Amino acid sequence: MSDVLELPRSVLLALWLAPDPSGARTDRTALLRAVQGDDEPHEVISGDDSPVPLGEAIDSWGAGPVDVAALVLAPGDAGAAPAAVSAAAIDAGECLLVRTPSTCVALVPEVEQFGSAYEPGHLVTWHSTPVPDWRLATVGRNGSLQDADRDLRQGLITVTEALVRLDVARWQDDDADQIAALRDGALPRWRMPDHLDGRHARVLGSAARLRAIVALATRDDGGAVSLWQADQRSAALRDVDRMSRRAIAAASTFPTP
């Protein structure tokens, strides 16, 4: 299961919108394929305007330099989301911030699922809202890529200790299979832009892996024998998830020099 690790749509879009250090223009067809995946074609809506295709919205920003940052959020943690979109971004669990010479907006994806559990489909509408310049607050809140890399190493220790406290013998076979898949999983290469460097890719992969492990671990109360122990373990896992979300944001923030 090499493609078991996934990234939020906002993160994928940020990675593709980030300037290529070589100066090459981004392949728009490849961008849309990577970001949309198996979704129906994405649309962008601003205020009371009619929805437009994602590619058309990107074209409307012009050919100048683009600053982008993706935020991965959770209830109680709005991160660096601008006030105008913080509630919607928390509900969505993500947000994309974009600044060009002519606009500064926050895009929050609204995802509607249709079909069955076996053949799901998704309709995605990005709601675009004008916001103040977000760069200083976002870069300061997310921290550096170096900080994220270091914190992920500590997060791995923390989540490993939390997993050790689980009564693994009580886990179902499919849980063990998922842990093995997460351990060996990688981000799907076809969804990553060619200009993404190795360090960013490593941080994104490690953070996505930790988030997935935390999600699996929180389905079970583990071997805790008291409410206090269960609360302590849950708090540790929440801290790892928060740290992982900040690491993903740090690795998908690209202000222009």
The answer as to whether 16 is a domain residue is yes
The answer as to whether 257 is a domain residue is no
The answer as to whether 254 is a domain residue is no
Q: Which two three-digit tokens encode residue 253?
A: 């923030």
Number of domains in the chain: 2
CA separation (Å) from 39 to 35, 55, 138, 202? 9, 14, 29, 26
Question: What pLDDT score does 221 carry?
Answer: 57
Q: For residue range 149-167, what is the model confidence (pLDDT) as tens digits?
A: 887 877 777 766 666 655 5
Side chain identity at residue 70, one-letter code: A
Strand-pair category, 120-130 with 104-115:
antiparallel
Residues of the chain scoring pLDDT < 70: 1-4, 159-177, 179-184, 219-233, 256-257
187 and 112 fall within a common domain:
no
Q: Which two three-digit tokens encode residue 210?
A: 């930790």
Q: For residue range 13-68, what is the model confidence (pLDDT) as tens digits?
A: 999 999 888 888 889 999 999 999 999 999 999 988 899 999 999 999 877 788 99
The answer as to whether 94 is a domain residue is yes
Q: Which of left, alpha, beta for 40 (phi over 0: left; psi -120 to 50: alpha)?
A: beta
Is this structure's pTM higher than 0.75?
A: yes
The boundaries of the domain holding residue 173 are: 145-248
100 and 118 fall within a common domain:
yes
189 and 241 fall within a common domain:
yes
Side chain identity at residue 114, one-letter code: F
The answer as to whether 256 is a domain residue is no
238 and 122 fall within a common domain:
no
Question: What pLDDT score does 11 carry?
Answer: 97
Question: What pLDDT score does 84 carry?
Answer: 96
Quickly count helices (H) and strands (E) in the chain: 9, 7
